[in-house]
Structure 1
């Protein structure tokens, strides 16, 4: 013991021990924040994690055979048509969706669980849900704030200040609200909200573009891969996913993205997580070219929006 005490009396040795402890502490904090999966509880009582092969609104299978091509799906309840477009030196994909019921517009968590650092690729989550079509969601797990309400259950009600929330009600109608609105929780209850996504900004409101040419997501490039969703009419939706960050496809600005929704008659449109997360999956295949700027590869995300039974 005396030898240890004498050894510790050397100032530089105490410094070494202090530095080692600090490094280990910082390392653990970073791992806990960004790497270690941690399942969290919902804010609603008696809520359980979703089964990865079943959502809370799973319907029975359609009674008629579907007609499926490389770019379309049609049955008695769901109509999907995918068009590949080119503008602003960018390739993007426009999905026109018409549903007989809002029940077929769904969301799902990676691994069927809400929590921090719980991630899977969009295609993996889509296959687990037996989806027909899917896009990446808002990547709620990348941060600790922002409303998370999925399939009628509230998982997080901490506002992301300065951000718009997309609300989808039980009839499948879209609306957006600032998360700075202190009455948002009451609004969600009054609207019987089924889904709330937190990313933004709102691109189209009341059929008008509501952003400027300079509007951009924080720390994002002006031209980027993008994922966004809009509503044209009752149970009639449009999704747009753009490629970007490659020599073949530059990427869209938010304003250019809004223009594409406006030209297709969207009454409301909302920007979702983009960049390396942007993914469009249809009938077992990734349709776009997801990339982080270095390689064509799907990024693992925390959630998806999908069409399915």
Structure 2
């Protein structure tokens, strides 16, 4: 029996599909809307930048926040080049004062807030032999940062708003071999349940997107030297995900199409968490 040929990528997977007005009039903050550089000449779009661009194409006004303000500004330039509305803001999610300032500035700039994405995460050393300093650093960004931003989102969002957390399959099954990354991504499940419950009285939804192996600058950095990841042969669909496919999954949670969905997660991983 011959192997089927790989399917060509859909326009959505390539980031080439037109907007359909699914977020018209929405005011959305994406925390982690810039991206790191792995190889500037060949880097694909990252998850956060793809989300920002897609939301703007779908009619939203977008606040792009990142610890790297220059990278957030690059995202904003791309949005404006397509005719979208966006503003860049700087934030270090480890700092409560900066998180508070970010949300106040976003509400002022956008005239309100009804959608927030926490798309922040950094990797650590492979194995268990990491220093307490490195452990605490990753917890401060990946876990405490999510708590600070999530609780601020619930305080500032208009009734009926949507909060999205970006996790990882590393929080669901062994594989990354990075103890701090695995643990902090797993901890987001507790925050997901808490925020969904705490926001229910105001019809605030909290859901989570769980990427598998994604071809992004972050992914290429984490997979450097691991040829099996780059080829995608270890995956059921025999290729890595694109950042646009992550963005479209988040779009469902951000839009009113998911108005009765909260406390849920969607794994975008070609099935590796379930097979």
Q: TM-score if structure 2 supplies the norm length?
A: 0.26
Structure having the higher Rg: 1
Task: Considering fraction of residues, name the structure with more strand.
Answer: 1
Task: Considering fraction of residues, name the structure with more helix.
Answer: 2
Indicate the structure whose relative CO is greater, using CA pairs within 8 Å and at least 6 residues apart: 1
Q: TM-score if structure 1 supplies the norm length?
A: 0.24
